[in-house]
A and B are shown apart, each in its own frame.
Chain A
Amino acid sequence: MARRNSGDYAVVWPRSAKAVEIKPLAKRLDTIEGKTIAFLWDDLFRGDEIWPILKQELGKRFTGVSFIDHDAFGSTHGDEEHRVLGELPGKIKSMNIDAVVSGMGC
């Protein structure tokens, strides 16, 4: 980025360091069979239609898989957002959740 010429203006960078460290993702599952998958939803963009399709298809392909629907958590967008996100780590543990599907980014 830096390029030094003789000139009239010596300028600084207008941004600042990121205040977050890059972290590794969680270990992926060895299989979806027998696992518990939770769906968290922002109440937007037809997630309530997409999740049943995903559940049905995953249930057909993987034996013993179980699902926890979005209404177990509340909306992840809007005035419930901060509460729902704050409760999530505890619920992942207490509900024995193995994986999360989150939607919808549209």
Chain B
Amino acid sequence: MLRVSAIAEQAGVPTSSLCCEGFLGQAKTTSVGLGYPNLALATVPGHVDVQTSDELRSNVLGTTVEHVIRNLTGEIASVQATADPDPQDIVFEGSFEEVNRLFLENGWSDGLPIVPPTKEKIAEFLAFTDLAPDHAIGKLLPDNRMATVWNVAVNGVMAGCRPEYMPILVALVEAMADPQYGVEHSGNTPGAETLIVLNGPLIKQLGFNYEQGALRDGFQPNTSIGRFWRLYLRNVAGFLLHQNDKGTFGNTWRVVMAENEDSLARMKWPTIAADMGAADRGAPAADSAVTISRFTGGNVIVSVFGDSAEKLLPYLGNALVTHSAWEVIFTVGMATGTYRPLLVLSPLIAETIAKTMTKQDVQNWLYENARMPAHLFEKYLWGWTNLVPGKRTLNDWVRLGKIPKVFAGNDPNRLVPVVTKPEHIMIAVSGDPLRSNCYLFVHNGMLGFPTTRSVRLPKGWRMKLSEAQG
């Protein structure tokens, strides 16, 4: 909404942005990042989702109309830019406790103690990249601040990372800045949280946990890099609660999930990075890579039982349908074809399935069999939400050419897929190698597809790593 207004103002026409009462604060902070801190807002009292038609009409006529007229014709006070420190300036000297208090008071910390970002610590991180400290990685909305190698190192120090994690941190911020990822949506109300999946030799070189408890904090690389992600979103992209981060509930940041590549090699199944085409982006397949995707939540699929793929897959298919509800709006409608659930199989389950099936076979089976009745799908589209207007049926969407023909039909009880392509069901392998549980992540799909970046190592990596690990 505000990006529209900024473009229109840039084009020379006045604007008025319609905003529910509870979102005025976010709108004001987002406006700053767009370069127009005084974008004119017209208030819609309360929230429209729970108002009757009469209440809505009364609110619009009683408040919104006047605001629109004022926004388009009245004088709006200009705003002056405030001076920011130079990133390399020392902004404070003090004890550990004083530094932490300052960072908390300024919103630069997540509530846990941070490691003070001194120039000495930052230099240790910079030694693990061949990029210059002022190398610009990209601009990050909504604050529209520049992501640089320097501030990657600063936030890596703060998060409790080790210097040798720096190549991964840089790759993560490159992925964050990729327009395909759509970082600007990270503050939306569903409050999804990013899952980072790591592939490649760095898993073992840096000591990531990829076995029992793979999604739990407790291992320094998994935990601290997960924390780095959220600190970087806060400090550089600008996602702070009660400002640009409007997650109704939100999630805590997730630890990095490393795949069990020993298991994948035994099965000859591709990694997530390979599925995402990491090797096609100019990097050898043996390189490490990070893949980012946001998930609103997930659930464990407990005690999956069976000695063959035929017995195991119905269990997984049922979980996929059961946990795909309003999320299917991103299969059809608001952002067509962007629903990409992630199944995480324990090696035990994956290797039992892999006796007779490739990963692609599994994706095809789930696409064909993990289906829901068309009438229920359409209920999610517009019966139980107001997110996709027009009350278009699945047949309408097929006629518009937005979704495959498999969704069309006359029987409301016909079964339809929850994704538009088999490969949109992502499958990873991690967790306790000798337990029969699986996990399913689902999400709102406003962030584009999952995004992968190869990790570039500095010259002399082996020697530097050896020295760092003592």
B284 at the interface (CB under 8 A from A): no
Q: Which residue of A lies closest to B65 (CB)?
A: A57
Determine if A105 and B60 form an interchain contact, defined as CB atoms under 8 angstroms apart. Answer: no
Q: For residue B139, which residues in chain A have a CB less than 8 angstroms away from its CB?
A: 19-20
Q: Indicate if the CB atoms of A54 and B93 lie closer than 8 Å.
A: no
Chain A's nearest CB lies how many Å from the CB of B211?
33
The answer to whether A20 touches B4 (Cβ under 8 A) is no
- With contacts A1-B106, A26-B9, A97-B13 taken as known, whether A104 is within 8 angstroms of B93 at the C-beta atoms is no
| Set of chain B residues within 8 Å of A44, measured between Cβ atoms | 386-387
| Chain B interfacial residues counted at CB < 8 A | 107
Scan residues 15-67 of chain A and give those whose CB is less than 8 A from a CB of chain B: 15-32, 37, 40, 42-50, 53-54, 57-58, 61
Cα–Cα distance between A50 and B45 once the two chains are bound (Å): 12
- Whether A28 touches B14, Cβ cut-off 8 Å, given contacts A9-B118, A11-B117, A50-B64, is yes
Interface residue from B22, B41, B98, B117 paired with A5 (Cβ < 8 Å): B98
Chain A nearest CB from B203 CB (Å) reads: 28
Mark interface residues in A85-105 (1 if CB within 8 Å of B CB, else 0).
100110011000111111111
Of all chain B residues, the one with the shortest Cβ separation from A27 is B14
Is A7 a contact partner of B98 (Cβ separation < 8 A)?
yes
Closest to B39 in A: A25
| Contact of A102 with B14 at beta-carbon distance under 8 Å, contacts A4-B93, A54-B68 already known | no
B17:A103 contact, CB within 8 angstroms? yes
Q: Knowing A9-B99, A29-B73 touch, does A18 contact B145 (C-beta < 8 A)? A: yes
In the bound complex, what is the Cα–Cα distance between A85 and B73 (angstroms)?
24
Tell me if B's interface is mostly helix, strand, loop or mixed: mixed
A-contact bits for B75-99, CB 8 A (1 contact / 0 none): 1101111001111111111111011
Interface-centre pick from B3, B235, B333 (highest chain A CB count, 10 A): B3
A31: nearest chain-B partner, CB-CB:
B73
The residues of B that contact A57 with a CB separation of less than 8 Å are 60-61, 65
Q: In the bound complex, do residue A53 and residue B61 qualify as a contact, i.e. CB atoms below 8 Å apart?
A: yes
Check A92–B13 contact: CB distance below 8 A: yes
Point out the residues of chain B lying under 8 angstroms from A45, CB to CB.
20, 48-49, 386
Q: Is B376 an interface residue (CB 8 A)?
A: no
Assembly CA distance A89 to B211 (angstroms): 52
The answer to whether A28 touches B74 (Cβ under 8 A) is yes
Please, which residues of chain B bring their CB within 8 A of the CB of A53? 56-57, 60-61, 65
**A101–B68 touching, CB < 8 Å:** yes
Q: What CA separation (Å) do A57 and B57 show in the bound complex?
A: 11
Pairwise interchain contact A77-B334, C-beta atoms closer than 8 A: yes
Query: Can you name 30 A-B pairs with beta carbons within 8 Å?
Result: A1-B85, A7-B94, A9-B93, A9-B95, A11-B99, A13-B86, A14-B103, A14-B151, A14-B158, A15-B151, A16-B145, A21-B35, A25-B9, A26-B8, A26-B13, A27-B12, A43-B388, A50-B56, A78-B336, A82-B179, A85-B4, A92-B11, A92-B12, A92-B13, A97-B13, A99-B14, A100-B16, A101-B68, A102-B8, A106-B47
| Interface, chain A (partner B; CB < 8 A) | 1-32, 37, 40, 42-50, 53-54, 57-58, 61, 75-79, 82, 85, 88-89, 92-93, 97-106
Lowest 8 CB-CB distances: which A-B pairs, in order? A103-B18, A106-B20, A9-B116, A105-B19, A7-B94, A20-B35, A100-B8, A102-B4
